[in-house]
Chain A
Amino acid sequence: MDNYIDRVLSAVQREPDTAPATENAFDNTYLGRLPLAMAYVPFQRWGSIYDPCRALQRGTIFPDLDLPFCGRELI
């Protein structure tokens, strides 16, 4: 999907990494290039998926989106 946000991020990824590591490094290299006052979720990329049994059990076919609640786990 070649939209504006993806072009901005691709351009950033091609630049050499000369910025010193600071607590704002992430914003400076990626998010900081994006327009303010807006929310951005990265597009997921297709990868390997769970087998059907595991997929149903985990609630998704995508290992990348398998983010369980660990606050309390009896079983």
Chain B
Amino acid sequence: MWTYDRKLQYPVNISKPDANSAKIIITQFGGPDGELAASQRYLSQRYSMPFKQVAGLLTDIGTEEMAHMEIVCAIVHQLTKGLSLEEIKAAGFDPYFVDHTVGLWPQAASGAPFTAAYIQSKGDAITDLVEDMAAEQKARTTYDNLLRLVDNPEVRDPLKFLRAREVVHFQRFGEGLRIVQDHLNSRNFYAINPEFDMRKPKSGS
């Protein structure tokens, strides 16, 4: 289960609201390669993962992604708190404002709502880990693009931290894949799916 720690993994202190930045950074909350998608992907995959170490990895990283979601939401919240109506209209933030005021709602920068279609939990150990490695790269590229577009150092700071975590997670998932490979036949890694074809025989047979 989960315990809530009353702290952010990385501090967020933004002194000036900015709806333009909020509009794009929200994509790392509810967008296709954002932290909510990452956390749900990994936490969903862990149940059928038969290799304990890898299930542990999925749990740990899935949990860390929830903490990252919190950081992204803290950024968007601080960028939108105290906005005037003029600032909201000037930034084109009014469509979001109409439906959510300055509340946080999981969507992509495009406005597309969060959906499970952004994630896969295929129930195959190799497939899921390769999916996870791809997810970390997609997230990294998204942070690269945000860093191209955002000037304020108070905002860039936590974004750079979050980007760095994606690189580390990629390495860990890569190692997780190596651990899975070690349990399989290297003459043909794809002969079976260890999540389904390695069921224990029923007792008594």
Verify whether A and B have any Cβ pair under 8 Å: yes
Q: Is the CB of A4 within 8 A of B181?
A: yes
Is B10 interfacial (CB-CB < 8 Å)?
Answer: yes
Is B163 interfacial (CB-CB < 8 Å)?
Answer: yes
Is A11 interfacial (CB-CB < 8 Å)?
Answer: no
Q: Which residues of A contact B (CB under 8 A)?
A: 1, 3-5, 35, 37-41, 43-44, 56-60, 62, 65-69, 71-72, 74-75
Sorted nearest first, the 7 A-B pairs with minimum C-beta distance are: A59-B164, A41-B174, A3-B182, A59-B161, A69-B144, A4-B186, A60-B168
Residues of B within 8 A of A75 (CB): 153, 156
Q: How many of B's residues come within 8 Å of A, CB to CB?
A: 32
Q: How far is the CA of A65 from the CA of B170 in the complex (A)?
A: 10
CB distance from A37 to the nearest CB of B (A): 8
Q: Which residues of B contact A (CB under 8 A)?
A: 10, 130, 133, 143-144, 147-148, 151, 153, 156, 160-165, 167-168, 170-171, 173-175, 177-179, 181-182, 186-187, 189-190
Q: Is the CB of A56 within 8 A of B10?
A: yes
- 9 A-B contacts (beta carbon < 8 Å): A5-B178, A35-B187, A37-B189, A40-B177, A41-B178, A62-B168, A68-B164, A74-B156, A75-B156
* CB nearest to A35 among chain B residues: B186
Residues of B within 8 A of A71 (CB): 144, 147-148
CB distance from B130 to the nearest CB of A (A): 6
Residues of A within 8 A of B179 (CB): 1, 3
Given A3-B182, A69-B144, are A41 and B177 also a contact pair (CB < 8 Å)?
A: yes
Q: Is the CB of B143 within 8 A of A3?
A: no
CB distance from A75 to the nearest CB of B (A): 5
Q: How far is the CA of A4 from the CA of B125 in the complex (A)?
A: 18
Given A56-B10, A72-B148, are A67 and B167 also a contact pair (CB < 8 Å)?
A: yes
The total of Cβ contacts below 8 Å across the A-B interface reads: 81
Main secondary structure of the interface of B (DSSP, over half): helix
Given A35-B187, A38-B189, A60-B168, are A68 and B160 also a contact pair (CB < 8 Å)?
A: yes
CB distance from A56 to the nearest CB of B (A): 7
Q: How far is the CA of A67 from the CA of B160 in the complex (A)?
A: 11
Q: How far is the CA of A67 from the CA of B186 in the complex (A)?
A: 31
Q: How far is the CA of A4 from the CA of B163 in the complex (A)?
A: 32
Q: Is the CB of B10 within 8 A of A39?
A: no
Q: Is the CB of B168 within 8 A of A3?
A: no
Q: Is the CB of A43 within 8 A of B144?
A: no
CB distance from B189 to the nearest CB of A (A): 6
Given A35-B189, A39-B130, A43-B178, are A72 and B164 also a contact pair (CB < 8 Å)?
A: no
Given A71-B147, A75-B153, are A3 and B178 also a contact pair (CB < 8 Å)?
A: yes
